[in-house]
Amino acid sequence: MTHEIRHLINGQLLAGKSGRKADVFDPNTGAVQALVPLADDSEVDKAVAAAKEAFPAWSALNPQRRARVMFRFKNLLEEHMDELAELLSSEHGKVVADSRGDVQRGLEVIEFACGIPHLQKGEYTESAGPGIDVYSMRQPLGVCVGITPFNFPAMIPMWMFGVAIACGNTFVLKPSEKDPSVPVRLAELFVEAGGPAGVLNVVHGDKQAVDALIAHPDVKAVSFVGSSDIAQYVSITAAQNGKRVQAMAGAKNHGIILPDADMDQVVADFLGAAFGSAGERCMALPVAVPVGQKTAEEFIARIQPQIEKLRIGVSTDPDVHYGPVVSAAHKARVEHYIDMCEKEGGKLLVDGRGFSLPGHEDGFFVGPSLFDHVKPGMQSYEEEIFGPVLQIVRADTLAEAAALASDHQYGNGVVLFTRSGHAARQFAASVQVGMVGINVPIPVPVSYHTFGGWKRSAFADTNQHGPEGVRFWTKIKTVTSRWPEGAVEDQSFIIPTMG
Ligand code: NAD
């Protein structure tokens, strides 16, 4: 018997009422392990109404009290780390240690959000004019919405609701329907931490729920993370409906290897960053760009045998490097891109197609693949594969390598491996990509900095978390005030100046 996952609305777990459901798989076995309800418009209305009702009291609470709820929530995340990580792995397929990292990265945003009394402070100018003081305040927006992808079911919801709620907003989260259980557990823990009913709601669904949320007249802001075409659609539609919107999207990150790089480190970093989590990370490193033929030959000679030795297995096995991909459809998509790259002239050095794990023949496993001689213009290079596939694009100079990353349609992350501070500094300043690593293979910024890509990796404006997150989830109000004593000055028909 499969169990049915529930929405969490107004502090209560609720069964779906629409009659529409989707399967949630165990990617290790391919079996359906649960059903997730897909909300209709009335269920979305209910979640938004709960958030709207909770807003006046929550936003009026002083920021230290809101921070205290965040502190308690953070403590509960730590207490429940193992449970959350195991639940996450069971639906996503990433190995449990990696799921712990997923929860931990979200927890770090909650730690950041605990500083909200300081972060949300406005500014003050005394005597901006005669007897005139000016101050600004950052006020919450109201009911906010987060729509999240399958690949970080703990971290990405917390990027959004952690900061939004700390700022005094109330929230409706629409998590991925592929691995919806962890987001519900997060909301339950938030309620246990003292989060009032209606402040954080989780409503499951697909396009219908997303469309209802981004058009809802009571929703003030929408944060989306997912694939690029849908991110673009959500950003345009939500903006047309008058919402503040941010939409993070797909990626194809390049790792450039200069001849002076530490090759031991490069190989170790690429193994983890290209194949960890079966390549299902928007900050994965699926393109290697060795500069110079000698660098390319050395890189291949060193990494190929290591790729052939990678251990793929069930997500609960602590000795494997990566587990299954999320669904049968995604496995087919990744294998389709391997076929495509081969047909386009990529030289297949390691072939991950047709991988089968004994005892788990129906699991969604994909072996690791390595291609050499991949070139710009190939569809398999221009598009995101989001699987355990590393493509090598050879370059003769750093300028040529950097141009590959700068000219690519995606601009999420890029990495330069080098020992040259000068080359690194020039590269970081000029490359047309939002997040840059220098000898750091997955340059996901820490929670008190900010996360966001460029080009088709992010639509609309304003990054996730850090001070940018606080700006996204608040609106600024500026007050110019004077308290005259005695007679009021004469009327004036000219624009007031401080001159
Ligand atoms: P997805 O676009 O399929 O789904 C994301 C969300 O959109 C889900 O909640 C889903 O229910 C909803 N959705 C699906 N179809 C929709 C439609 N037609 N209309 C409206 N909403 C719809 O993405 P995914 O497969 O869950 O996640 C993987 C993608 O997310 C990759 O492209 C990856 O690069 C990207 N991603 C980007 C970042 C980033 O910060 N740039 C982070 C993580 C993942």
Q: What is the pLDDT of residues 219-253, one digit of tens each?
A: 999 999 999 999 999 999 999 999 999 999 999 99
Q: What is the pTM of this model?
A: 0.97
Question: What pLDDT score does 178 carry?
Answer: 98
Q: Express each pLDDT in 423-453 by its tens digit.
A: 999 999 999 999 999 999 999 999 999 999 9
Q: Express each pLDDT in 384-413 by its tens digit.
A: 999 999 999 999 999 999 999 999 999 999
Instruction: Please state which CATH number belongs to domain 3-249+458-479.
Output: 3.40.605.10
CA of 148 to the centre of ligand 1 (A): 6
Please report the atom of ligand 1 found closest to the CA of residue 229.
2
Please report the atom of ligand 1 found closest to the CA of residue 384.
32
* Fold for the domain defined by 254-438: Aldehyde Dehydrogenase; Chain A, domain 2 (3.40.309)
Number of H-type helices and E-type strands within the chain: 16, 23
CA of 151 to the centre of ligand 1 (A): 9
Confidence check: pLDDT of 1 > 80? no
Confidence check: pLDDT of 496 > 90? no
Q: Give the pLDDT mean for 30-59.
A: 98
Neighbours of 425 (CB within 10 A): 11
pLDDT above 70 as % of the chain: 99
Torsion sign, CA atoms 155, 160, 166, 170: negative
pLDDT above 90 as % of the chain: 95
CA of 226 to the centre of ligand 1 (A): 2
Question: What pLDDT score does 70 carry?
Answer: 98
> What residue ranges do the domains of the chain occupy?
3-249+458-479, 254-438
Confidence check: pLDDT of 498 > 90? no
Catalytic residues: 282
Confidence check: pLDDT of 2 > 90? no
The strand pairing partners of 4, in sequence order, are 35
Q: Give the residue from 188, 205, 210, 209 showing the smallest Cα distance to 197.
A: 188
Question: What pLDDT score does 497 carry?
Answer: 80
Question: What pLDDT score does 485 carry?
Answer: 82
Question: What pLDDT score does 113 carry?
Answer: 98
Q: Whose CA is nearest to atom 16 of ligand 1?
A: 207
**Are 324 and 363 within 8 A, CB to CB?**
yes
CA of 329 to the centre of ligand 1 (A): 15
* Residues whose beta carbon lies within 6 Å of some atom of ligand 1: 147-152, 174, 176-177, 206-207, 210, 225-227, 230, 248-251, 282, 384, 386, 412, 453, 457
Q: What is the spatial distance between Cα 479 and Cα 482, in angstroms, rounded to a whole number?
A: 10
